[in-house]
């Protein structure tokens, strides 16, 4: 398979120009950058499709190499639909921005500038933890009382089970004694 160098050069220029336009502050230029990147992706899929062949339908006597690969065509159609949807979304954003502010530039607001000037040090995440500061930690008295309560519950349950088994054993002995008479 030979690759068309002109197609690759055009695709590279479209990708580079599209990325450059995406980095601008004007939403119209961002839209144009997205369109150029979408077209460059279509050219990439066209180049990946290989040489054109016959339609991917069954033809008597045709070898497997003579058919076109339908996957790049399906991916190109998907890329066209995605580019169309992103374009429609960006047009809606540009229209809304024009109606509200009478410009299509993305501007920094005061809060963005304040956050950008802040230090990257976050006290909660970056400071060293000297001791265990969890609010769920229990001291020795609480742990001992909890263990004592658990032991009392366990002993109480064992006493009840023993009483129940003695009662059922007593009933069995009473029934045996009555049957012996």
Query: Which class for 47: exposed (0-12), middle (13-18), buried (19 or more C-beta within 10 A)?
Result: middle
Structure confidence at residue 135 (pLDDT): 65
Structure confidence at residue 137 (pLDDT): 61
* C-alpha separations of 144 from 4, 96, 110, 147, 154 in Å: 80, 65, 55, 5, 15
Higher pLDDT, 78 or 54: 78
Q: Are 68 and 54 in contact (CB under 8 A)?
A: yes
Confidence at 155, pLDDT banded by 50, 70, 90: confident
Is the per-residue pLDDT at 162 higher than 60? yes
The most confident of the ranges 45-49, 50-54, 133-137, 138-142 is: 45-49
As a whole number, the mean pLDDT across the chain is 81
Map tokens 């909660």 to a residue.
124
Cβ burial 8-35 (10 Å sphere, 16+ → b, else e): eeebeebbeebeebeeeeebbbbbbbbb
Nearest to 43 by CA among 90, 86, 89, 83: 83
Confidence at 83, pLDDT banded by 50, 70, 90: very high
The most confident of the ranges 6-10, 149-153, 169-173 is: 6-10
Beta-bridge mates of residue 67:
54
Is the per-residue pLDDT at 161 higher than 80? yes
Structure confidence at residue 103 (pLDDT): 83
What average pLDDT does range 20-37 have in this prediction?
93
Which residue blocks in 27-139 are alpha helix, DSSP H?
27-48, 70-101, 110-117, 123-126
Is the per-residue pLDDT at 128 higher than 80? no
pTM: 0.56
d(CA 85, CA 119): 39
Is the per-residue pLDDT at 79 higher than 90? yes
């Amino acid at each position: 398979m030979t690759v068309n160098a002109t197609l690759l050069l055009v695709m590279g220029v479209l990708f580079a120009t599209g990325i450059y336009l995406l980095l601008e502050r004007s939403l119209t230029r961002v839209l144009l950058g997205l369109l150029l990147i979408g077209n460059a992706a279509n050219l990439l899929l066209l180049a990946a499709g290989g040489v054109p062949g016959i339609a991917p339908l069954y033809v008597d006597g045709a070898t497997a190499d003579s058919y076109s690969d339908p996957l790049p065509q399906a991916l190109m159609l998907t890329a066209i639909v995605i580019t169309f949807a992103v374009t429609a979304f960006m047009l809606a954003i540009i229209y809304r921005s024009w109606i509200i502010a009478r410009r299509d530039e993305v501007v920094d607001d005061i809060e963005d500038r304040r956050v950008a000037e802040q230090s990257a040090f976050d006290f909660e995440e970056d400071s060293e933890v000297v001791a265990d500061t969890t609010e769920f930690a229990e001291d020795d008295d609480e742990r001992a009382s909890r263990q004592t309560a658990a032991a009392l519950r366990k002993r109480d349950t064992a006493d009840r089970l023993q009483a129940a088994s003695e009662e059922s054993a007593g009933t069995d002995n009473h029934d045996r004694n009555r049957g012996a008479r």
